[in-house]
Chain A
Amino acid sequence: MSYQVKRTITTLVAGILILAAYCAYTFGKSLSGIVAPGDLKFWASSMLIFVAAGIVVIIVIQIIFHILFSIGIAIKQRDCDEKEIGRAIEASFVEDEMDKLIELKASRIGSILPGLGFVAALVALVGGSSLEVMLNIAFLSFFMGALVTSCVQLLYYRKSVPSE
């Protein structure tokens, strides 16, 4: 498995964990009755906190993963000299045209979900759902879009990326 694939898996797992944490925190509070129905401030502040925390967590995880991956390569090549180890580490971090194409195509597919989610949120509102439901549909669709992007990236790495 290449660095790019492992990095995508790491991002995907981190995204799933953040999403699970958000659901557990907000819906847990909402279901237990701590949050009053219609308290949009709670939902908006929770979403903001989780967006910010999510970005920080993903950056930290990426840095830790980067360090661990480098250590892994260095251990594998422990018989070689320092220069060669450095070269091997550098070679595994190369991001080339295929990676960029995969990222581009995956994000194009992933960006469909937030759009659909927004429409679904509006439809839910028109259908008589509360503003909390609308906010959550919109927010979760953005999150799901990011997760789908990672999944599509993995799929393209596994199968192939269409060139046209």
Chain B
Amino acid sequence: MNKDKIELSNNIRQLRFFAGEMTQAALAEKAGVSRQTIMAIEAGKYSPSLELAFAVADVFGIGIEEVFSHTVKNEAKGREDT
């Protein structure tokens, strides 16, 4: 059985800063979600759907891989791959 666990991280805070200190509310409005959802994603508390991840990336005009990255954790071996 595959015991790998994927942990998502993101650069939304930095990207907002470089987008002229864009507010979470402004990003939320452009991505079509609530500010609470953006807050949760930014804090790593919620993993967005692929559609929302693309929508967030589109707001910044960059690729999804520049917004989100993942770490694969093998729970059985305890190793990490990025």
Contact = CB atoms under 8 A, between A and B. Distances in A.
B73 to A, nearest CB: 14
B16 to A, nearest CB: 17
Interface residues of A, number: 18
A99 interface: yes
Nearest to A158: B45
B72 to A, nearest CB: 15
Interface residues of B, number: 17
Contacts of A94: 28, 32-34
A159 to B, nearest CB: 7
B9 interface: no
A161 interface: yes
Nearest to B25: A91
B40 interface: yes
Contact of A97 (B25, B35, B48): B48
B22 interface: no
A163 B47 contact: yes
Contacts of A97: 33, 37, 48-49, 51-52
Contacts of A160: 40, 45-46
B1 to A, nearest CB: 15
Contacts of B28: 91, 94
Contacts of A5: 36
Interface in B1-31: 25, 28-29
A155 interface: no
A52 to B, nearest CB: 32
A8 to B, nearest CB: 12
Interface in B26-82: 28-29, 32-37, 40, 45-49, 51-52
Given A94-B33, A96-B37, A98-B33, 16 more contacts: A2-B34, A4-B34, A4-B36, A91-B35, A94-B28, A96-B32, A97-B33, A97-B48, A97-B51, A98-B40, A98-B46, A99-B34, A157-B36, A159-B45, A160-B40, A161-B45
